[in-house]
Amino acid sequence: MRADNKPSGAVDLIRTAMIEKKMTQAELADAADCHEKTIQNLLSGRAVRDQTLFDVCMVLGLDFDRLRSAWRGGLVEAPAAPVHMGAYTRAAVDHYIGSYLTLRPSFSVLGGVMAYRTDIAWEDDSPGLVFQERDRPDQPYANRGHLHISTSSTYVHLVSASKGAMRMVVVSRPDAMGQMLGLITTMHKQRAHFVPVSAPIAYVLRQEFKHCRLGEIASAEAEEAGYRRVLQSALDQGYARLIAGG
């Protein structure tokens, strides 16, 4: 959305804080880890990302919520994910949206592979990418959460939290084939207790799932070898490392 008037109130707050801290545009850009041209755009009232506003607030000691509110009285970008998720806009992450064949080693079947579907979509009510796991044999443990995407990292975090429990998946950004590789850290029920476990994981973008074998795939089944090769590539290609304790 765009408004007719520039966000002069927000710009005035920034300029005043710069004067009080005796900071030049170049010094502010360096401290906020952005280009000087970005600061020039900011001080001219042009559209900038929420992440830029947040970084400038941290440097100048300004209240982010107050500044963003003042800024949105004028010229703003399309809705963005919260700053703690990366402040990305939908246009920047459209290529993540879709359905993925999700593979990881089975925690229950020795030598087997767990295969299920993960859908990634944009959520308007609380802006940002969300993921939802589907077609799992252990459906009560299916996760739903948010994607955290940092501009300073080549990896993406899929984070879910429920009643104090958290699960973390760290994978590479999608390659040309729509594949993301990395590690999952979660809890696994072993006898009467849950224990932490980490393992390779792969997300492979698919248009349809009619011919995908899902569920717990035993090592003797035909699909297991192909699925296992995809998982092994996460380690062989250096997307993740598993280090055993000595």
**d(C-alpha 17, C-alpha 41), whole Å:** 17
pLDDT classification of 3: cutoffs 50, 70, 90? very low
Q: What is the pLDDT of residue 246?
A: 58
Q: What is the pLDDT of residue 173?
A: 96
Q: What is the pLDDT of residue 202?
A: 97
State pTM to two decimals. Answer: 0.70
What CATH architecture does domain 8-77 belong to?
Orthogonal Bundle (1.10)
| More confident position, 229 or 12 | 229
Domain boundaries, the chain: 8-77, 92-236
Buried b / exposed e across 152-175, counting CB within 10 Å, b at 16+?
A: eeebbbbbbeeeeeebbbbbbebe
- State yes or no: pLDDT of 184 exceeds 60: yes
Q: What is the pLDDT of residue 203?
A: 98
Q: What is the mean pLDDT of residues 204-216?
A: 92
What CATH architecture does domain 92-236 belong to?
Beta Barrel (2.40)
The share of the chain scoring above pLDDT 70, in percent, equals 94
Q: What is the pLDDT of residue 115?
A: 96
